[in-house]
Amino acid sequence: MILDLLQYAIKQAEALGASDAEAYAAINNESEVFIENNDVKQAKSQSTSSIGVRVVLDGSIGFYSTNDLAKSRIRDAAAMAIKVAHASPKDKHNILPRKSKSKLVRGIYDRNAESFQTLDAARMAAEMLKAAKSYDSRVSVDSGNFSAQVATDALANSNGIELKERTSVFSWSIMGMAIENTEISSFDYQVGGSHYVKDINVSNTAGEFAETVVKSLGTRKIEESFKGEMLLTPMAAKEMIEEVVAHAINSDAVQKKSSHFAGKIGRQVASDLLTIEDDATNVEGLNASSFDREGVFHRRNVVIEKGILKKFLYNTHTASKDGVKSTGNAGGSTSSPPTVSTTNFLVKPMRSSVDKLVSEIDKGIIISRFSGNVDPVNGDFSGVVKGGQLIMNGTIKYSVKEVMVAGNVFDALRRLNGISRERKVIYDSILPYMRFDGISFTTG
Amino acid sequence: MMRNGAQVADSLRLLISSSKSATYVEARYHSRVGSEVNFVNGELERIRVVENAGCGIRVLVDGCWGFTSTSNISNETLKESLSQAISAARILARTKKNKVKGLIESKMITGTFRTSANSGNLSDISIEQKVQVTKEAEKEARSNRLIKTASCTYREMLDHKVIINSDGADIEIHDSKPEFSVTAIARKASQSATAHEGVGITGGWNDLFKKKSHLEYAYTASARAAKLLDARHVSGEKSTVILDPAMVGLLSHEAIGHTVEADFVLSGSVVKDKIGSKVASDLVTLVDSGRSEIAGNAGGTIIVDDEGVAAERTAIIEKGTLKSFLHNRESAMIFGTASTGNARAFQYSDDPLIRMRNTYIEPGEDKLNDMIKETKHGYIIKGARNGQADANGEFMFGAEEVYLIENGEVKELLRGASISGNAFEVLHSVDMVGNEFQYDIGTGYCGKYQPAKVDGGGPHIRCTAMIGGLQE
């Protein structure tokens, strides 16, 4: 039924002169319960559906999206996309992918998700809240949520691609602080997620959150500014490192000369401890799916191997420019033409435990969260350490406050000197703890 | 597709009157047509038109909130959605400990409103013209040979809303919010520097380019990026700083505004028991308003909020004393005060939350030149980048350019850096407030589960903050 609508949109666009056309639809059913101020706040249930029509007309691209799937509106959308194409400049790389064969990814859809209701979501939210509060009476939950989502993605184009896939995603988050008398700790934020009902574990996430905020009470200023080691938790690594690397390995950034990695394929760009993959076929990551935003099948892409830059991530448009094949990294929703984006971002774990990484530090700081700015182009970062702890001679001394950290991600990657065996799934990232030396910490 | 406002209002009125079992029902039809054109390095990077329309229904039943939304607004579907919202609320009632006590009585607004699109209605400007302007500006940004990458984006949101609730609100709103921005990246050997320029407003096409033309924005961004290329890094220290209007807007929004959002206050914000207390220097009056006070076309202008309350001026800090939090009707009931009209939803499928609008510090009497002249050692901090604030008042935000001041004179330009401190300590340290006012963060969106279009600004202010840098 949905595929018929997509074919209808393509036929309409072709009838109006499009040489190529693509229609992408997404239908979502979602139940979500919000937490606010230590209590459940609101329950929400909704179904949304939308379609995006992309047309190519004499090399020019047009795009129109609507959330009204009535046939008459889809016809209008195709006509509007043609109108937009008339205003656009030509680009010979505006092409659509061809049909290819591959296997569908298994393990991303749970039948039981269909019967998971608002009532169940409310129970999960209440359980998460209870787990956090019972850990320690000083824990205060500012906000959080539990969401259950079943999504159907369907895509068709005038080259004969016709695909449909259903995924289920459960995700939850918890955010807040610990309060003792007049002292308020740093904020912490933890998330969890799964594709299957049986893998939902809100108590773990709540426990980790509670432990972190309680630990960051009783903070002290560090005595002086220093240069030392930095141990990032997976969440902090996501905040400080991932965006920069994701930008640098994006073929679009490379072609626009804003990637630090441009021209460096085959060269050492990081410590040989570092291996990074983009892999939508890894079902632990919540972004797992079989095909990308324009119908190219996903695969495992090793981007950096033992510190050596191996490849960039492409969609069909950027691949055409470089004369290579798409890596299956067309991203974006129905409300936008395809971009290039990472799917699941993975850093390979190593043998050391987190405890071992800590014990090897002479002087340094563990960072739970990084609140600051990162420039994805040149890699400069500068910001405040959140939930930080000072380490001296291999032991954790105390929790710190008002420490700023600054440096450059690309320099830091070369000075990466430890990766943990423990990893954490943060939605679409699977990251270990990462340790760097030569980092500047400033106190006021 | 533009639906007939009167017909939509009739359907929503019928729906509201049919519901007897809820304490409160609100139906909000919201249609948005968004357009975007983006050029990068001479190529069209993105062009799209997106329409998103539907009705969000929120109910208060048994002291709990339920919310649903639907893109189909036939009477039948609306009714079905309403009963879904009611049952969601009832489910929550089984686990919720502190029931919603009710909503404060507020004057419910009725009528039709248009945010000022006096000149150059966006829907009358052709897509060809929007493409042209964006393309030209992007090209201009690259006319400096040090600029290796440039990007220019035009975006607009055309909104049509109908809000009816069971307490008597009956509103139709037409809103128009365009924005335009240019990014230039300069590069020489292994050095690179980025600069942004832009404007985001409530108003029409001509309002957007009232202050500067599209080419002037492009020129300014590229000249700055080129200049920053040779700039040194700042060394970290606590220092006297003069913040520009964009920085003041960001400080007001991030470091103060979020801590006074009543939902945030209820979960233990640092200002919890501070109403009536001195939280800043006498020179500071900090306001959040849904109207475009002092200067026109502020990007966060809303007139009426999504609960049907007038979005009027709220003095958060008056001459250094904390006066008010930001409220919706629910939080106002808890605090025993009036709603400040801060309930906002981004799209039809979002529920209204307490959000800011235009947040700023009011101008004072000092001239910028005097502020510089009276600074022995310090920095001028310009070009607000993103920022974050914490529950304990600690904040940090990024600045694009920093100028060193020595003995009352502006010296060299330094690279961008982070500014941080405790929000209230910084406000206590304010000792000079400029006399020229400007809104300047209108291209920004605030994120809190859902985006919101906000703006902020102020005059230049002088205060003490920590400036981050590299330890050499």
Q: What is the average per-residue pLDDT within B201-221?
A: 96
Q: How big is chain A, counted in residues? A: 444
Q: Where are the alpha helices (DSSP H) in A97-199?
A: 118-135
Q: Distance between CA A128 and CA A297 in Å, rounded?
A: 36
Cβ neighbours of A176 in B, within 8 Å: 267
CA B192 to chain CA centroid, nearest Å: 29
B446, B454 in Cβ contact below 8 A?
Answer: yes
- Is the minimum CB–CB distance between B145 and chain A shorter than 8 Å? no
Q: What H or E segment, with its residue span, contains residue A426?
A: strand A416-426
Beta strands in B407-437 (DSSP E): 409-422, 432-433
Residue B472: the pLDDT is 34
Q: Which whole number is the average pLDDT over B189-208?
A: 92
Q: Tell whether B464 lies on the interface with A, counting CB pairs under 8 A.
A: no
Nearest CA in chain B to A227: B471
**C-beta atoms of A225 and B94 within 8 A:** no
Indicate if the pLDDT at residue B470 is higher than 50: no
What integer pLDDT is reported at residue B471 of this predicted model?
38
Q: Do A406 and B418 touch (CB under 8 A)?
A: yes
- The half-sphere exposure of B452 on its side-chain side, counting CA atoms within 13 A, is 27
In angstroms, the Cα distances linking B79 to B3, B52, B55, B86, B88 are 19, 20, 11, 11, 14
Of residues B191, B386, B392, nearest to A373 (C-beta) = B386
Quick one: which H or E segment has residue A188? Answer: strand A188-194
CB within 8 Å: B92 and A66: no
Q: Select from B397, B306, B265, B370 the least CA-distant residue to A382.
A: B397
* Predicted model pTM: 0.89
Comparing CB atoms, the residue among A50, A126, A141 nearest residue B95 is A126
Inter-chain touch B127–A73, beta carbons under 8 Å: no
d(CA B444, CA B39): 19
Assess contact for A205 and A128: CB atoms under 8 A. yes
* A 272-331 near B (Cβ less than 8 A): none
Q: Residue B469: pLDDT above 60? A: no
Task: Choose the mutation target among B26, B33, B38, B51 for the interface with A, i.e. most A CBs under 10 Å.
Answer: B51
Q: Mutate which of B153, B418, B424, B464 to disrupt the A interface (most A C-beta within 10 Å)?
A: B418
pLDDT at B2: 60
**3-class DSSP string for A320-342:** HHHCCCCCCCEECCCCCCCEECC
Which 3 state secondary structure label does DSSP give A204? helix
Of B40, B192, B267, the CB nearest to A378: B192
Asked if residue B116 has pLDDT above 70, the reply is no
Please report which residue ranges of B209-319 form alpha helices under DSSP H: 214-228, 245-250, 262-266
ipTM beyond cut 0.90: no
Query: For A105, which DSSP code?
Result: P
Mutate to test the interface with B, among A188, A382, A402 (most CBs of B within 10 A): A382
Which chain A residues are closer than 8 Å to B471 by Cβ?
225-227, 406, 440-442
Contact B92 A33 (CB under 8 A): yes
Q: What is the DSSP letter of B252?
A: I
Q: Which of A50, A184, A442 sits opposite B268 (nearest CB)?
A: A184
Res. B1: pLDDT tops 80? no
Angle between helix axes A202-215 and A118-135 (nearest 10 degrees) is 30
CA angle B142, B146, B148 (to 5 degrees): 55
Decide if pLDDT at B267 tops 80: no
Tokens 């964006």 sit at which residue? B134
User: Parallel, antiparallel, or unpaired: how do β-strands A188-194 and B237-243 relate?
Assistant: unpaired
Pairwise CA distance, residues A442 & B69, whole Å: 48
User: What is the C-alpha separation between B31 and B33, in angstroms, rounded?
Assistant: 7
Residue of B nearest to A83 (CA): B127
Q: Does B274 touch chain A (CB under 8 A)?
A: no
pLDDT tens digits along B132-149: 999 999 999 999 999 999
Mutate to test the interface with A, among B232, B381, B420, B450 (most CBs of A within 10 A): B420
Q: Is the pLDDT of residue B167 over 80?
A: yes
Residue type, A281: T
Q: Is B68 on the interface with A (CB under 8 A)?
A: yes
Task: Please give the mean pLDDT across all residues of chain B.
Answer: 93
Q: Search chain A and give the residue with CA nearest B148.
A: A257
Beta bridge partners of B452: B446
Mean pLDDT of B346-354: 95
Q: What is the dihedral of CA A57, A63, A64, A65, to 10 degrees?
A: 140
pLDDT tens readout for residues B382-435: 988 877 777 677 888 889 999 999 999 999 999 888 888 898 999 999 999 999
Residue pair A371/A307 in contact by the 8 Å Cβ criterion: no
Q: Is residue A402 left, alpha or beta, with left meaning phi > 0 and alpha meaning psi from -120 to 50?
A: left
Nearest CA in chain B to A43: B66
Q: Using CA atoms, how far apart are residues B250 and A414, in angstroms rounded to an integer? A: 34
pLDDT tens-digit series, residues B317-342: 999 999 999 999 999 999 999 999 99
Q: A434 with A237: CB under 8 angstroms?
A: yes
Q: How far is A274 from chain B (nearest CA, A)?
A: 23
Test mutation, B70, B71, B188, chain A, max A CBs within 10 A? B71
Measured between beta carbons, the chain A residues lying within 8 angstroms of B418 are 372-373, 382-384, 404, 406
Tokens of B390: 């914490």
CA angle, corner A373, sides to A229 and B194, nearest 5?
Answer: 120
**Which token pair is A320?**
């055409």
**Rounded to the nearest 10 degrees, how much is the dihedral formed by the CA atoms of B67, B68, B73, B78?**
-80
Q: Taking a C-beta distance cutoff of 8 angstroms, is the pair B238, B466 a contact? A: yes
CA gap B175, A288 in Å, rounded:
38
For range B80-86, the mean pLDDT: 94
B218-239 pLDDT per residue, tens:
999 999 999 999 899 888 889 9
Strands (E), B24-169: 24-40, 43-61, 64-70, 110-114, 147-165
**Å between A182 CA and nearest CA of chain B:** 9
SS3 B338: coil
Kindly state the tokens that stand for B76.
């039948």
Burial B170-203 (b: 16+ CB within 10 A, else e): bbbbebbbbbbbbbbbbbeeeebbbbbbbbbbbb
Looking at chain A, which residue has its C-alpha nearest residue B95?
Answer: A126
Nearest-5° Cα angle at A435, A433 to A441 = 120
Could B67 and A88 be called an inter-chain contact, meaning their C-beta atoms sit closer than 8 Å?
Answer: no
Whether A143 sits inside 8 A of B1 (CB atoms) is: no
- Say if strands A139-157 and A20-36 run parallel, antiparallel, or are unpaired: antiparallel
Q: Which residue has the tokens 């459960």?
A: A170
Q: Which residue of B has its CA nearest to A384?
A: B396
Mean pLDDT for each consecutive 10-residue tract of chain A (444 residues)?
A: 96 96 97 92 91 96 95 95 94 94 92 93 95 95 95 97 97 94 86 97 96 90 94 96 97 92 97 98 97 97 98 98 97 96 98 97 96 89 91 95 92 97 96 97 85
Beta strands A429-443 and B321-322 are unpaired
Closest CA to B251 of B417, B419, B366, B435: B419
For an interface test with A, the pick among B29, B43, B49 (most A C-beta atoms closer than 10 Å) comes out as B49
Q: What is the chain B residue with the closest CA to A374?
A: B398
DSSP letters for B100-141: -------PPPEEEEE----SS-GGGS-HHHHHHHHHHHHHHH
Q: Which of B1, B51, B417 shows the shortest C-beta gap to A382?
A: B417
Contact A43 B263 (CB under 8 A): no
- Does residue B119 have a pLDDT over 80? no
- Does A378 reach chain B within 8 Å, measured CB to CB? yes
